[in-house]
A = this chain, B = another copy of it.
Amino acid sequence: MSSEGSATAAGAGRGEPVRVGLLGHGTVGSAFAKLIEDRAPAIASATGRPVEVSGVLTTSRGKFEEVLAGADVIVELMGGTDTAREYVLAALAAGKPVVTANKQLLAQHGAELFEAAGKAGVQLRFEAAVAGVVPVIRVVQESFGAVEFNKVFGIVNGTTNFILSEMASTGAPYEEVLARAQELGYAEADPTDDVNGADAAAKMAILARLAFHTPVDFDQVKFEGIESVQPDDLAYAKELGLSLKLLGVAERFEDGITVRVFPCFLYPGHPLSPIEGPFNAVMVQAPEITEVTMSGPGAGGIETASAVLGDLVSVISGDAPVHQAKNDLPILSDVESSFYLHLEVADEPGVLAQVAKMLSDSGISVKSVVQKGMGNDARLVMVVHRCSETLFMDAVAQIAELGSLRSSPRFIRVIEEEF
């Protein structure tokens, strides 16, 4: 079944371009078309074949039948569940693999679409439908294909996570923060499906189906949104040491499963509590893997397009690539770092000034200093800003020569906040 799929995707054979029929040319569709062009050499190198967009269907341009006939693979980025369903079923029936980012389509018509793909023996991939660029679909289906999960849960809607993070940090009310999210492009003009939990529910239906090998439809997921969260809930939460997230939770019990979406407080130390802003994160738990957490940007045109491209590359490759080194980049020796520098020195006047001058003469600037006396000696600990490692080592070698030093200098790299 699977090899037929790749045979179809491979079309006329290795070396020939793979023809991609693109349905939809909105934010994601156009980002995807541009990405395919920009990454053409990398795609050809990863799959062994060049890729070209052979046809585009928009509301004002193109005919579906023609786009389908001229394509080896269909990429559905038009959204909606009626026409999109019809086109995807037609593509599968014609033996063409499909890549889609359409979560409502999968959540509402998953059973039918998976059956059609199985019958035709072609791939249906949909990484971009859940958690943006975070590769949770592939990991659940492939890396952990034989794992029996206890629980799959996480933050799967970036809009609401942005709103909750902003409310917590600014104390501003929901309506005000929503308006700001819309200005910044993190929320749509009509944010209903995001803020009421429906978007997250669709994603959890898809995840639960894959994790538990059980049919789960969108209308079986109970969901609550964040519309009624008050600024003082967040203020009290701070007092109780909690952070608020909209969680999707799919869980397996002795007698069945639950799939739900609800706003929820997390204690600090929970792996999901540091996930702020428009990011997504998903955790999967099972005895043989303990727990694995994945996080990254939830959506955005280029990130979604990138997830779609990953699927397209897999459809074309049909199989895991056998790695072959293709570049031959030089391996560099000097790089820049920030450093922590620890010195034990005689507790006498002028040592700090001396060290600071040696650093500054080398063009190295000090970010923070802690000095502590202990009898006749003192410890001088500082963090310096990013500089050439060679330059820093040379400066430390000079400092090591100072008569006031009680032991060899110690240093450790520091990853700067901006990172």
| Interface residues of A, Cβ cutoff 8 Å to B | 1-3, 5-7, 35, 39, 42-43, 45-48, 111, 114-115, 117-118, 121-125, 127, 133-135, 138-139, 141-148, 209-210, 212-216, 220, 222, 228-230, 232-233, 236-237, 239-240, 242, 244, 247, 251-253, 255-260, 262-267, 269-271, 274, 287-297, 300, 302-303, 305-307, 309-310, 313-315, 317-333, 335, 340, 342, 368, 370, 379, 381, 383, 410, 412-417, 419
Contact = CB atoms under 8 A, between A and B. Distances in A.
A153 to B, nearest CB: 9
B233 A46 contact: no
A314 B321 CA distance: 12
A117 B324 CA distance: 10
A252 to B, nearest CB: 7
B263 A413 contact: yes
A14 to B, nearest CB: 8
Contact of A255 (B48, B322, B330): B330
A271 B270 contact: no
Nearest to A331: B220
A313 B45 CA distance: 25
Contact of A328 (B123, B214, B244): B214
A247 B413 CA distance: 10
A319 B322 contact: no
A413 B251 CA distance: 15
Contacts of A121: 322
- Across the A-B interface, the 3 shortest Cβ-Cβ residue pairs: A2-B319, A256-B330, A292-B296
A212 B329 contact: yes
B310 A146 contact: yes
A257 B332 contact: yes
A98 B76 CA distance: 36
Nearest to A418: B267
Contact of A332 (B256, B320, B327): B256
Contacts of A333: 222, 258
Given A293-B295, A318-B319, A322-B1, A258 B46 contact: no
A367 to B, nearest CB: 9
Nearest to A239: B370
Given A310-B145, A317-B145, A415-B247, A240 B292 contact: no
A300 B291 CA distance: 13
B111 A325 contact: yes
A240 B296 contact: no
Given A35-B288, A262-B412, A293-B296, 20 more contacts: A43-B146, A124-B322, A133-B289, A142-B314, A143-B310, A209-B323, A232-B342, A232-B379, A233-B340, A239-B370, A242-B340, A242-B414, A244-B412, A253-B332, A256-B329, A260-B335, A264-B415, A274-B274, A289-B303, A292-B296
Contact of A264 (B266, B293, B413): B413
Contacts of A123: 319-320, 322
Contacts of A255: 330, 332
Contact of A317 (B2, B114, B233, B266): B2
Contacts of A125: 320
Contacts of A114: 322-325
A116 to B, nearest CB: 10
30 contacts: A1-B322, A2-B317, A2-B318, A2-B321, A46-B146, A111-B325, A114-B323, A114-B324, A117-B322, A124-B323, A142-B142, A142-B314, A145-B310, A145-B317, A145-B321, A146-B313, A147-B306, A209-B325, A236-B340, A253-B335, A257-B329, A263-B413, A264-B415, A265-B340, A270-B417, A270-B419, A287-B302, A288-B302, A290-B303, A293-B295
Give the interface centre of A214, A255, A292 by most chain B CB atoms within 10 Å. A292
B2 A322 contact: yes
